Every structure is written in C-alpha cells, then in structure tokens.
Amino acid sequence: MAKHQRPGRISSYEGRPLARPAEDLVDQGLAFDIGTVLSRRRILTLVGLGAATAGLAACGSGSATSAGATSGSTASASTASTSTSGASGEIPQETAGPYPGDGSNGPDVLEQSGVVRSDIRSSFGTATGTAGGVPMTLELAITDLAGGGGAFTGVAVYVWHCDREGRYSMYSQGVTEQNYLRGVQVADTAGKVRFTSIFPACYSGRWPHIHFEVYPDQASITDATKAIATSQVALPKDICDKVYAQSGYEASVANLSKVSLASDNVFGDDGAVRQLPTVTGSVTSGYTVSLAVGVDTTTTAGNGQTSGVPGGQPGGQPPGGQSG
C-alpha cells in the first residue's frame, strides 16, 4: 500500500522539488542524496575559506600587536644556534659596571691611540698580552629610533668584557697592565659594527655578558658623559654550556649553575628580552653573536652609571676584582 503524505510534510528541499514528496527526506533516492551532500560541501568550503581568511587577518594583526608590545622575542635554541636578535624597541639602559675603562672610573682606554680596532683579542700600545678562549665574533646593528628607526650610521661603539678567567683588563689582579678585550668600531652605512674576540667567562654573581656604549661619533669617545646608550648583551645559556665545557672555562661551570637570568641584578627585571642575541657557530669554528640595538637619543642615556654606587657596581665578583 502506498504511503499517504502526512499533514505538514514538505514537497521541496533547499529549492529542489522532492522526487518522492510522500516519503521522508531520507528516502528520496541516491541522486537526491548526492546532490544534497555536494551542496553542503560547497557551503562548508566557502565558510571554511572565510574563517581561514579571518584567522589569517587576526594572526597578522596579533603579530603586529605582539611585536609592538614586547619589542623583542626569544626563539628556542637549536644545536647550531640560539635566535633572539630582534629587539624592535630601545635597548635597556644598564650599568657600565666598575670596570668600564672609559675614564668614568679610573683608567681610560678610549684616550689611547689604537683603540679603534675590530680585533680586540690582544692588547695594544705598550701592552703585549692576548686573551685566549673560544673564538667569538660580536655583531651589533645600531638603529636610530629618534630618526625613524633607520641605520645609525657613523656612531662609535665601545665594547668590553671579561676574559676566560673572568678578569677585566686594566682592573683585575694580574691583568692591570693589559688592555685586551676593549675596542671601538664606527658603524657602517648599515649601522653595523663587528668585533673579533673570545667568549667571556661567567664569574660569581653575574650572568655572562658583554658591555657596550654607543657614542654620537668617534670624536666623542674620550668623554664618557657623551654616551647616548649604555647596555649589556646577555649570552644564551645553551651556548654558554657548550663553551664552558671547554678547557680554561672550568670555573664558569660552577658559577653559571648558581645564577639565572631571572636572578641576575641587571637582566632580572625583564629576562633580557631585548638583550639576548642570535648566536650561530660552534666551539671549533667559533660563535657569531648578533644583536639589534635600538638607540633613542630623546631618552636619558644615564651614562652607564648606577646612582649611589661607586663606578656603577651591579654586583658579582670577578676574580681579582670588585663586582662587575
């Protein structure tokens, strides 16, 4: 017996007449079912494309906002490199420490002929010492934030750091007559400077680091008060672990185990988010340490000193000296 259409039963679906209006929707036959499935897939495809487009737009907007908010990032380390290089905001102003060698606390290497050089491993002038250690190339890219963020061409960058034993030349016992691991370079048209050096030690109480000051030009370096930025580069732990496993760095292993970026009295306020560089290379070929350095001449540079502390001491005890 044929089925009779019940009251309220539909005779069409999605604008298409039903082949069997007396039957339920699920009993309209294979051709009707295939047409319905294809129609739904088209709709889902369009909806999916719209959602994906919206999602991409949201991601793009979110990335821009995040970059602006954090002004830097720290990427995960690989076996070959640690990547963070990109601070888009101003480099934090930090202490120059008690061993600047810029005349603000005793010795002044910046008045000596020969300080403008790219290879800072050896002493110059009348000194003849050379610092040993795992080779390191330091690259800083200076940008002029007050001038629109372009390359800060012509600025002079003074760099200094401790040796493999944690000593600062000109200050620490045993190396007071040396001036190695100190030098100045003038930024090229891309705002970049490059120094050939050795990987510094980790001494008691401080995270491994490199000091630098930025001056308006080479003529300004003999006056420490003219520095337009003073900061430090924080060296990534995974790279430090590899370097400190090498001969000559034995003391650094124990010292590094007792400090962290969070506990460091210079980097601890923000985890060195703008001061962690990109590092590539190996202990055999040497490492290249690269950092983007944003300088804003409209803000106070601070001349690298910590208020109320002689020489700007931040704490930490390098061998044969004060905190640095």
What is the pLDDT, as a whole number, of residue 300? 81
Q: Is the domain defined by 72-312 classed in CATH 3.40.50.970?
A: no
What span, in angstroms and rounded, lies between the C-alpha atoms of 251 and 203?
Answer: 8
Inter-CA distances, 10 with 3, 18, 28, 55, Å: 14, 8, 12, 39
**Lookup: tokens for 163:** 């040796």
Within a 10 A sphere around the Cβ of 198, how many other Cβ atoms? 23
CA distances from 42 to 24, 26, 167 (A): 24, 20, 71
Per-residue b/e over 42-74, b at no fewer than 16 CB within 10 Å?
A: eeeeeeeeeeeeeeeeeeeeeeeeeeeeebbbb
Give yes or no for a contact between 151 and 189, defined as CB atoms under 8 angstroms apart. Answer: yes
Distance of CA 28 to the CA centre of its chain: 65
Q: What is the pLDDT of residue 301?
A: 73
**CA dihedral for 206, 207, 209, 212, sign (positive or negative):** negative
Strand partners, 81: 280
Q: Which of 93, 114, 96 is nearest to 104 (CA)?
A: 96
Q: Are 100 and 224 in contact (CB under 8 A)?
A: yes
Say if residues 119 and 129 touch (Cβ distance below 8 Å): no
Altogether, the residues listed in the chain come to a count of 324
Please give the pLDDT value at position 91: 97
Q: Of 238, 234, 298, which Cα lies nearest the Cα of 270? A: 234
Q: What is the pLDDT along the chain (324 residues), one digit of tens a residue?
A: 444 444 444 555 555 566 666 666 556 665 555 454 434 444 333 334 343 333 433 433 333 333 333 333 333 333 445 544 444 699 999 999 999 999 999 999 999 999 999 999 999 999 999 999 999 999 999 999 999 999 999 999 999 999 999 999 999 999 999 999 999 999 999 999 999 999 999 999 999 999 999 999 999 999 999 999 999 999 999 999 999 999 999 999 999 999 999 999 999 999 999 999 999 999 999 999 999 999 999 988 754 443 323 333 333 456 655 456
Indicate whether this model's pTM tops 0.75.
Answer: no
